[in-house]
Amino acid sequence: MLLRVSGDLFAKGFGDPPFDVLALPGWMRTVADYDQTLRDFAALAIDLPGFGGAQAPPSSAWSTGQYAEALLPALEAFATPPVLVGHSFGGRVALQLATMRPDAIRALVLTGVPELIAHDKSKPNFLHRSIRALHRRGLVSNARLELWKGQHGSADYRNATGVMRDILVKAVSENYEAQLRSLSVPTTFIWGENDTAAPLTDVEQALELVPAGTATLKILKGVGHLTPLEAPDAIASAIRDRLLA
Per-residue pLDDT at 164: 83
From CA 104, how far away is CA 82, in angstroms rounded?
Answer: 7
Q: Which residue has the higher pLDDT, 85 or 76?
A: 85
Residues near 95 by beta carbon (within 8 Å), at least 6 away in sequence: 86, 108, 110, 113, 116, 176, 179, 180, 183
CATH 3.40.50.300 is the classification of domain 2-118+175-244:
no
**pLDDT for 206 beyond 90:** yes
Least confident of 81-95, 135-149, 194-208, 218-232: 135-149
What are the residue boundaries of the structural domains of the chain, listed by start?
2-118+175-244, 126-166
**pLDDT for 125 beyond 60:** no
**pLDDT for 120 beyond 80:** no
Q: What is the pTM of this model?
A: 0.85
**pLDDT for 65 beyond 70:** yes
CB contact at 8 A, 104 and 75: yes
The pLDDT confidence band at residue 119, using thresholds 50, 70 and 90, is: low
- Concatenating the DSSP letter of every residue in the chain gives -EEEEETTEEEEEESSSSP-EEEE--TT--GGGGTTTTTTS-EEEEPPTTSTTSPPP-SSPPPHHHHHHHHGGGGGG-SSPPEEEEETHHHHHHHHHHHH-GGG-SEEEEES-TTSS--PPPPPPHHHHHHHHHHHTTSS-HHHHHHHHHHHS-HHHHH--HHHHHHHHHHHT---HHHHHH--S-EEEEEETT-SSS-HHHHHHHHTTSPTTSEEEEEETT--S-HHHH-HHHHHHHHHHHHH-
